[in-house]
Amino acid sequence: MDKSFWRRVAIIGIPVALSSLIGTVLNMLDIFMIGNFGDDYVSAVGLANKVFFVLNLLLIGIVSGSAILISQYYGKGDEEGINKVFGFSLIFSALGGLIFFLLAYFMPDNLMRIFTNDERFIEIGSSYLKIVSISYILTSVSTAITGLLKSVNKTSAPMLITLGCVAINFICNYIFIFGNLGSPVMKADGAALGTVIARSIEIIALTMYCIFTKKSFELHVKRMFSLKLKFILSTFIFILPVLINEFGWGLGTTVYSVIYGHMDETATTTMTIATCIQDLVYVFLLGMSNAAAILIGNELGADKFSDAKRNAKRLLVANTAFGVVLGLILVGIVYPYTLLYPNISEVVKKYVIYVCIVYAIILPFKAFNITSICGVLRAGGDTIVSMIIDIAGIWTFAIPLGCLGAFVFNLNVVWVFALISLEEVIKLFFSLWRTKQGKWIKNVCNFDQKIEVEY
């Protein structure tokens, strides 16, 4: 066993997984605390957060696409390339956050009506959105900074900062949601305010870290923001498949929420609660796939092609096996988890358990796919084919089956979720085929349409 390799995987993957885990816990805190006020608050906040989910797709597309280049430039030792690509990521992430802030702040009712026609959900969700939208710009900038740090193997600092922000968010939730320490009882609005405060502190901490800590490269404001049109266009063209990939996948999963939102009320509440615990185990697979993307990207940037190929196989096998283990853990903890929601109905509790069992069965397939598509293929710049594989299953298979199950055959949420989840099985065959072809094994810093660093 190559202990040094697995040590590098752990050093990168564990902090990334824990950062994602902490972020998931942050979302669970909101849902759990708001759940004390009943199913309608859980459903309304869950639907309102779909707006941020769409913004997050944009951010992931920009930051993940940029990370492909940054990780390879870091492996190559190209400081100028790192600065330029990070500048691009920062500018366009902030711009996306600004647009979503304006939409959520001035048109919250319209956005809520996309996901549900329940007036009570719309009322609660719109008020929540108007407050939480302030955090969108802050989150956009912090996502770009975190993406940079992860790409250059600095994963511990974002994890610790996120941990501190979760603690702050918990305290704010305690104060504002329930009206403690002299605050009025704000319910869902209190959760939104807590998020804004936590995100504000997060961006300050990340900025201070970048300014005052010693790194193996230097950030230069002039290099970051003196971007010529040719550079912007060439970078945008490079990351466009990743952007389309994330939006195609994310909008597809948003359609799932629309399907659930137009079924009975138990469907939305079930999926809101089930998604929290599903994300709790999924973040560990996400950490492994991020480790794959960073390590393989660094190796490809340094022209270590044989190492990249060997390590890709290792990570694919390990993450798939990890998916089996996590699925078993999920089945074991789902019933105690439902007891954390004493005010939801017994029907919802039963559906949450069944949905999580289905998810556990699908998890090994999902583990292989995320490692292959988001880790291995993207690391080598094979973004067009990975984009097609990732979104085709959703739009040609999962969504049609989900609509048939929900609106033609009138199946309950468990069966609809099972039909939708089958796309991971189909996708595995195509991601395995593309990975074995080896066309991702290339240095994107040196290919024909190479990004030129200009001043």
Task: Quick: pLDDT tens for 53-101.
Answer: 888 888 888 988 888 888 888 888 888 888 888 999 999 999 999 999 9
Q: How far apart are CA 127 and CA 423, in angstroms?
A: 35
DSSP strands (E only) in 178-299:
none
Could you give phi then psi for residue 219, rounded to 5 degrees? Answer: -95, 135
Q: How far apart are CA 114 and CA 111, in angstroms?
A: 5
Q: How many residues does the chain have?
A: 455
Stretches where the chain sits below pLDDT 70 are: 1, 23-24, 26-28, 214-217, 446-455
* Structure token pair of residue 405: 């199950």
Task: Quick: pLDDT tens for 28-50.
Answer: 677 778 888 887 888 888 889 88
Question: How is residue 447 annotated by DSSP?
Answer: S
Q: How far apart are CA 99 and CA 102, in angstroms?
A: 5
Task: Quick: pLDDT tens for 315-335.
Answer: 999 999 999 999 999 999 999
Distances (CA, A) of 9 to 236, 289, 292, 315: 30, 10, 8, 9
Torsion region of 228: left, alpha or beta (phi above 0 gives left; psi -120 to 50 gives alpha): beta
Residue-level pLDDT at 251:
81
For residue 171, the one-letter residue type is I
CA angle 242, 386, 328 (to 5 degrees): 105
Q: What is the number of other CB atoms lying within 10 angstroms of the CB of residue 110?
A: 12
Q: How far apart are CA 85 and CA 447, in angstroms?
A: 17
Could you give phi then psi for residue 154, rounded to 5 degrees? Answer: -100, 80
327 in Cβ contact with 249 (< 8 Å): no
61 in Cβ contact with 386 (< 8 Å): no
Measure CA of the first residue to CA of the last residue in the chain; give whole Å: 46
Residue-level pLDDT at 180:
94
